Structure formats: C-alpha cells, structure tokens
A and B are shown apart, each in its own frame.
Chain A
Amino acid sequence: MQQAAETILDVKGLRTVFRVRAGEVTAVNGIDLSVAAGETLALVGESGSGKSVTSLSVMRLLTRKIGAIAAGSVHLKRKDGKVRDLVSLSEQEMRSIRGDDIGMIFQEPMSSLNPVYTIGDQISEPIRIHRGADRKSAMDAAISLLDQVGIPDAARRVKQYPHELSGGMRQRATIAMALACDPTLLIADEPTTALDVTIQAQILDLLQKLQRERGMAMLFVTHNLGVVAEIAHRVAVMYAGRIVETGPVVDVFRNPKHPYTMGLLASMPKLGDATRMKQAGEKLAAIPGMVPSLMNMPAGCAFEPRCKFATEDCRKAVPPLFDVSPHHKSRCIHWQEV
C-alpha cells in the first residue's frame, strides 16, 4: 500500500536549530520521512526527542526568534497536484497552505480554540478564508463537519463557546476545524494526550475513520507506544533529535532493531503481563540514565551512554540508518546483534 499510493509529504535531511545565548543548538538533525495518501506515520519519542520540532518545522510554525530550518527540504504535494518545497515558501504562501492543504490538531484543545469566538465561527473561518465562502454557507459547512466528527446536535453546538464543551468534544471541534478544507495532510501533535483513556479511544477511532473516508496522509506525533500500535501504519522512533529506527509498526514493535526502541518497549508495564512479572519478582526493564542535553551531545551515537550494547566503535561517529529489511531501518551499528 505504501508503495502504490502517492507520496504527499516528503522530508529530506531536515535540520532545525534553536538560537540560545551560547549560539545555536541543533534540535533535530538529518530527518528523512515520507507519508503517502491514506497512510499514517507516527513520530514517537520522549520529551526533547525532537518529534514536535519536526512537526512544527513541517508546518513552518517555528518563529524566527526561537529557531529555524537550517537545512533540508519539505516537499508537499498540494491539492492541485503541484509539489512544493515548503522550506522555500514565503510566509504568505505558507498561510495559504496551512488550514487548506495541511490540517493541524494539537494536544490541548482548550488552547487551540479561541475562547471568545463560537465553535461555528472558528470552524467556518478556514472555509471563508481559503474558499471565499460567505458566512451562511460556511456556517452550514461547519454544522455538517461537526456532525461528521460525531458531535450530536451540531446546529446548536456551533453557537456555543469552547468552555461549554467537554475536553473530548473540544478535540472533536478542533478536528472539524482541521478538516474544514479537506486537507491532503493532517498533522496531529499528541491529539489524545490530554484526554482520558475512554475519550482517547473515541478520538483515535474517529481519526482512523475520517482518514479512511478521506484518504488523507497523517503525521501523528505521540509519546505513547500503545497509541502508535493502534493508529499508525509506519513508525519513526526519535531519540535526541534523530530518527533511530523506522519501519512498519508491526515489524518495529515485534522485532525492534535499535536498543532504544527495545528499551522503550521493555520499560512499559503491559496490561495483563504485569501480574505475571510481579509474581515472578521481575523488575521493569528501565533504561538507565537520561536523555543527553542538546548542548552537550555525545560525538557518536547519542544513545551510547545508556546502551547495554555499546562498544568503543559507537563513540566514533553518528551511525547511519542501516537497512534491516527494505522498509525497516535502524541507526545502530550493532543492529544485527540487537
């Protein structure tokens, strides 16, 4: 499927730097990824791994004061079929793409909605801006969108303000807003992290259904490996600003070939298995130490200081991505032993 479908997003060699007092630090480096129509790629990693910086870079939402794309390309296939490199576009051109070709959903629905406008105003705004629709028809479209994202009594809800909705309903409303102009790419940055688990299940189910119906490409950023297995076709595991392992979710999770991915999977208590572990007196396989600071990166593999497979060679240079199989890659020189 990933071969046959057309590529919507193609990121090559992306490097994003942050300005700090001491100069600049590299937040993400050498990111290559692509997402095809109808496909979901999950970017997974812990705090500071660079997953959100990657998604913000794709959307060009990093302000100049904070950081900038220093190298690489971000090619997007727009709705008209033309492929553009977002890195080279002006801010004005970017504005015509955000909300139209790219829909975005963020973690905290309350802060991505404006408290002084009604839900209907906010969902119809992109339709009016990008499509030039009049107020009335944009509001009708908003009602139909709310209906599609499973908000009951949509005609009444469009007149309400964000504070009148529950957390789950608000996230549904931001999804409606993101989908208003039929984007080819949906970027979802931790969209279920602030939600309770029963509501998370509803939202994941909704996103999957909408993606199937619309054939969108989806870039899904999360720290939750369970959510990845639930929603994504492929996964890219990030650590300290680089992709360390990538491939189909089934391959990567069943047969991880990077010690970090292995460590992450092993450090999670698993429902149903935890009782056995407790009775056997087994400890959770915690990863020792912590993520290195961006200001003070190891010269070689960034995971080497925490890695039980590490050898002298790991300290020499940043390892390239090795092919485990045609679609499964690992940034570990010892991947064959892992």
Chain B
Amino acid sequence: MSAPLLEVRDLAKQYTTRGSTLTILQNISFDIGKGEVVGLVGESGSGKTTIGRSVLRLIEPSAGSVRFDGTELTELSASQMRRARPRMQYIFQDPFASLSPRMTIGEILTEGLKIQGTGNSKERLDRARKALEQVDLPADAVNRYAHEFSGGQRQRIGIARALTLQPEFIVADEPVSALDVSIQAQVINLLRDLQQRLGLTMLFISHDLAVVEYICDRVIVLYLGRVMEIAPSAELYADPHHPYTRALLSAIPSPDPDAHRNRQILKGDIPSPANPPSGCVFRTRCPKAISRCAEVVPELRETAPGRFKACIRDDLNGSVS
C-alpha cells in the first residue's frame, strides 16, 4: 500500500448533557490508502456516521488527529478547511432529505463549484451535465427538481453532486440503504465503476455486510464507538477473528435455502453509551467473555499482517465457529 491518503489517530467524540458525558467514539485509529475503499460497519449507535462526519469536520471531533494527504485537518481554520473541501466529498444516506426540493438539479450540482469560485456559470453547468452523464442520468435533468426523480435516481444525483468538485476522497454514508434491492444493485455497480475509473479513495459506511464485502478492500468493524476488528475484506469474511464480527456475520439471514444455518444469536441489547460496560464494551453480550474482559480495555493490536483486533482472547482464532 502506498502512503495513506487519510490517517486517523485516536479520534474521539464526546457529548456532554446535563453534566453527564456520553462517549460516542473512543480511540479510533485507521488509515486509508490512495485508491482504497474501506468499509465501516456496525449496528446503530456504533459510531459509523460520527466517524464519517468527524473525518470531514462536518462535526468537530473532541480529540484526535485526522491527516489528509499530510495536512492535519483538525487544526485548519474555517476558511482553510473550505479551501480543502473540494478534495473530499460526502454522499448522504437519504436521497429525499439530502436534496433541496426548492433548487433545480443544476443549482444543486453547481452550488459547491460556485462556493469554490470555480469557472463561470456556463462552465459550472457544463460540469454538472458531465457529472450527470457519469451517473447515467440525462444531461437535461439540470432543469428539473428532485421530486421528479425516483429514489434510485435521486441517489445518483447525490453521487453526481459529490463528483462535480472532482474529489479524491469520498465518504459514502449508507448510500444504498434507502433503496430497494433491484435499484440498490444498480447504484452499487455505479459506485464501484466510478471508484475504479476515477481512482477514488472511499470510506464506505454501511450496516449491510454483504454490500461492504462486494465494494470494500478492507473493513473496520465497530461496536459502541470502539474498533473491534480491522481486516482485508476477503480475510474478514472467510475468517473473522473477533467474537463480535463472528456473531454479526452469523446473524445475517441468507436467501440461500441450502445455506448452512449455524446461527449464533447474541443475547441482550447494545449497551447505552451513557453507561458502557467496564473493560471490553462487547463483553456483556460476548459468548466468549471471561472475567478478565471486565477488567481491561482490550487494545487494538495487529495479530497478523494487516489484521487488527481488540480482544484479549487469542486462544479463539480460527478454531471457533
């Protein structure tokens, strides 16, 4: 892997409400190489979106460092950050909420260019048309409004908006979760195609592990704001090391009627971040927890080349189903 485009170190996010502190993210560290697609998976409340937004400073992280192509983003002033933004863009989950109903598609697609002072209005519109072509929508869509398009088409418009500034890095936050299966496949194919053709670097946030497997080179598994495991996607799916990853993979219902159903059902609920368990945050639901799990916070360690896990039980790897 070449020098990473994005380096995240010890990222943390806390909210203070009525005197009590909610820790949403803690000790998040990872790299994304140039041209690499990294998946961020986890259930609700795991902190996926908070990471995505903190990385682009759409929300301010409480602590930690985010270096983008060598520049420390967390130290930039608002105007410096604005100048850096064209290189990094965001695709949002909800194709209905993320497009203004009162702007034409042309206005939506050229807004970023306008803010950046790129070109004149004709050149900007040309860029918008080109971006629409890249996502397989007709160029005359620039004169229409978001409500004239279906969910799948709107999500293409959201992708086109991210592309008009010709970014190197895109955070795609659940870009296909709101879409029906048959439309979802169209958009996944499109994203993969664009990523490869434009050499984009991507942080792909999703709760759907099959989609992540298809689109990502590496995967980060989160639970309650902590990284549980990081691995190349082929290895993660073939041989998950962390008990949480194993449980998560086994919980996904398969449409294959011949699939070997060896479901492992986790007990209980995801704990509240207001009152997280001591030690390992997963231990209260972990089928492999031992008493020491309550005492020490497991560190994220490299257990094999490229494979990281935050679990003190090294005796489990490979052998447990």
What residues of chain A have their CB less than 8 Å away from a CB belonging to chain B?
A: 46-47, 166-169, 196-202, 204-205, 223-230, 249-250, 253-254, 263-265, 267-272, 274-275, 277-279, 283-288, 290-291
Contacts and interface: CB of A to CB of B under 8 A. Distances in A.
B180 A196 contact: no
B152 A267 contact: no
B213 A204 contact: no
Contact of B258 (A47, A254, A284): A254
Contacts of A47: 151, 180
Interface stretch (B52-60, B72-80, B181-189): B181-189
Contacts of B258: 254
20 contacts: A46-B182, A169-B269, A197-B207, A205-B263, A253-B257, A264-B182, A267-B184, A267-B185, A268-B255, A269-B210, A270-B256, A271-B213, A271-B252, A274-B211, A275-B237, A278-B215, A284-B188, A286-B188, A286-B189, A291-B180
A225 to B, nearest CB: 4
B321 to A, nearest CB: 14
Contact of A223 (B152, B180, B253, B256): B180
Nearest to A276: B234
A179 B69 CA distance: 58
Nearest to A201: B251
Nearest to B235: A275
B233 to A, nearest CB: 7
Contacts of A46: 180-183
Contacts of B237: 271-272, 274-275
A226 B249 CA distance: 13
B185 A286 contact: yes
Contacts of A197: 43, 207, 248, 251-252
B207 A253 contact: no
B263 A201 contact: yes
B262 interface: no
Contacts of A267: 181-182, 184-185
A198 B252 CA distance: 8
Q: Is the interface of B mostly helix, strand, loop or mixed?
A: helix
A167 B248 CA distance: 18
A310 B302 CA distance: 54
Contacts of A284: 185, 188-189, 214
B43 A198 contact: yes
Given A253-B257, A269-B210, A290-B183, 5 more contacts: A47-B180, A168-B269, A201-B265, A223-B180, A271-B213
A319 B77 CA distance: 65
B257 A196 contact: no
A286 B182 contact: yes
A269 to B, nearest CB: 4
A116 to B, nearest CB: 23
A268 B181 contact: yes
Nearest to A231: B253
Contacts of A271: 209-210, 213, 237, 249, 252, 254
Given A197-B43, A275-B233, A287-B185, A202 B265 contact: yes
Chain B interface size band reads 35 or more
Interface in B150-164: 150-152
Nearest to B251: A201
Nearest to A227: B253
A270 B255 contact: yes
A209 to B, nearest CB: 11
A253 B189 contact: no
Given A284-B185, A287-B185, A290-B183, A270 B247 contact: no
B259 interface: yes
Enumerate the 6 nearest inter-chain pairs by beta-carbon distance, A residue then B residue, closest first: A226-B253, A286-B185, A267-B185, A274-B214, A196-B43, A274-B213
Contact of B255 (A196, A205, A229): A229
A88 B61 CA distance: 61
B265 A205 contact: yes
Contacts of A288: 186
Contacts of A287: 182, 185-186
Contacts of A275: 213, 233-234, 237-238
Contacts of A250: 257
B44 interface: yes
B191 to A, nearest CB: 11
Given A201-B266, A271-B213, A275-B233, A265 B255 contact: yes
Contacts of A169: 269
A38 to B, nearest CB: 19
Contacts of B259: 229
A263 B182 contact: yes
B150 A269 contact: no
B210 A264 contact: no
B141 interface: no
Interface string B184-214: 1110110010000000000000010111011
